A and B are shown apart, each in its own frame.
Chain A
């Protein structure tokens, strides 16, 4: 990875840790819960389409 010549050196101390569990090790990471996807029941069958009369 070629990032060019160095410009300056910094000291970076984030107030909030970028590591999800870094600030509150006992608390789960603050991620949104995944949306639930409905799964069809076992043996469920889609109803065949009934042609509509013209």
Chain B
């Protein structure tokens, strides 16, 4: 007898990763267990306690994530990546999040330390008549591009995200829209539907704007 699944769309969670170099390619790594999330393949959780049934309600193993992006923002520091991930297989729902058997990132946001806009304008003035202007963003731009190439998911750099207590609703709502569109639009994006890509781009930009502080102005 085959049991029908409870869900046919992935469960979407928010979490952070560190980035390590894996033979010249950036690789996401869990900050707690230091276990890698490989690119272009599903990450399969393992159990160190040998529960024999990964991501079961009776154990604590699995790939973790929160329901709400606000729970992850405190761990999002420069160089770290925050994003939503799809969980599948056996998934245990918890009060504030989920843990699952398999996972893959859906959308990634890189915390960058891009220079202050005033410094950018000053450089524009100083180098106005010079043939080459220094690109202070180069390392961060490279990481964003290389992560997108490696994982083949949308990656957005966010410069000095503003995690203010007065705009939690804007960020939480914008993040929920990203999570929903990332999961719902997956079949259409896979088929190359440009409108589905546009929809995801729009909600990703909206969340980035919420971190930039423009959504509550």
Give A contacts to B, CB under 8 Å: 1-23, 29-32, 34, 40, 44-46, 48-49
A-B contact count (CB 8 A): 127
| A11 near B41: Cβ-Cβ < 8 Å | no
Other A-B pairs, 19, CB within 8 Å; known A10-B90, A32-B197: A2-B96, A3-B66, A6-B57, A7-B92, A7-B93, A9-B56, A9-B92, A9-B93, A12-B9, A14-B8, A14-B86, A16-B186, A16-B187, A17-B42, A18-B10, A20-B151, A22-B42, A32-B194, A34-B145
For the complex, give the distance between the alpha carbons of A20 and B106 in Å: 9
Chain A residues near B8 (CB, 8 Å)?
12-15
For the complex, give the distance between the alpha carbons of A48 and B92 in Å: 64
Give B contacts to A, CB under 8 Å: 3, 5-11, 15, 32, 40-42, 56-57, 64-66, 86-100, 104, 106, 129-131, 145, 148, 151-154, 186-187, 189-192, 194, 197
Counting from the closest, the 3 A-B pairs by CB-CB distance are A4-B95, A3-B97, A29-B152
Chain B residues near A22 (CB, 8 Å)?
41-42
| B94 near A12: Cβ-Cβ < 8 Å | no
| B86 near A18: Cβ-Cβ < 8 Å | yes
- Interface of A, helix, strand, loop or mixed by DSSP: loop
Known: A16-B187, A19-B41. A31 touches B152 (CB 8 A): yes
